[in-house]
Amino acid sequence: MSRISWDQYFMAQSHLLALRSTCTRLMVGATIVRDKRIIAGGYNGSISGGDHCTDDNCYVENNHCIRTIHAEINALLQCAKFGVPTAGAEIYVTHFPCLNCAKAIIQSGIKAVFYAKDYKNHPYAIELFKSAGVHVENVELEEMILDMKTTEKLAFTAELLTKLEEAGISEEELKSLKDQANKLFLPG
């Protein structure tokens, strides 16, 4: 098996961080990297010690949860708290940064933003990144490369579907099962 790229590695870290999120609307993770070394990570959630959306629902005003601190801000604050400079670093985020996060990223001196999924990409954020000379690149996480048994799972699922077909399962039911399997194994 060949090694995954640095971009895939750091994006996987961001997706792992997102699993710590306490936001029930969107789980986001961010990893700040300098010289191929992780210097900070963050996920979206409430302030330390505060009520979490997972415990007390989202606190929504104007269609936005005001309880949540965004993943990018949490990662930047971690750097500030521990005196780790961000100038010249890169950030890997599971979703395209919101406008406020984009401004904070630019102000922190980060030179590149890598994101896995488009999410309400604000035109002004895109313009700000461009005018600030911040490189922005979509790097989707190939989740299946993280699963060391993907090939075996695909083969097993195909074998089960074949046996069900040979056993006389209806075409409609077989199609439904194949569609479900495709949703599990195909990206997006």
Comparison of pLDDT for 12 and 59, the residue scoring more? 12
Q: Are 33 and 40 in contact (CB under 8 A)?
A: no
Q: How confident is the model at residue 185 (pLDDT cuts 50, 70, 90)?
A: low
Identify the sign of the CA torsion 15, 4, 112, 114. negative
Q: pLDDT tens, 128-152?
A: 999 999 999 999 877 655 555 666 7
pLDDT of residue 24: 81
List of long-range contacts for 157-162, beta carbons under 8 Å, 24+ apart: 157/181, 157/184, 157/185
The mean per-residue pLDDT over the stretch 13-29 comes to 92
pLDDT of 32 reads: 98
Encode pLDDT of 58-83 as tens digits: 888 888 887 889 999 999 999 999 99
In the predicted model, is pLDDT for residue 25 greater than 80?
A: yes
Residue 127 annotated to the active site: no
Q: Which of 61, 72, 90, 172 does the annotation list as catalytic?
A: 72
Indicate whether 166 pLDDT > 70. yes
Local structure of 160: helix, strand or coil: helix
pTM of the model: 0.78
Using a 10 angstrom Cβ sphere, with 0-12 exposed, 13-18 middle and 19 or more buried, the burial of residue 69 is: middle
Say if residue 49's pLDDT is above 90: no
pLDDT tens-digit readout, 87-125: 999 999 999 999 999 999 999 999 999 999 999 999 999
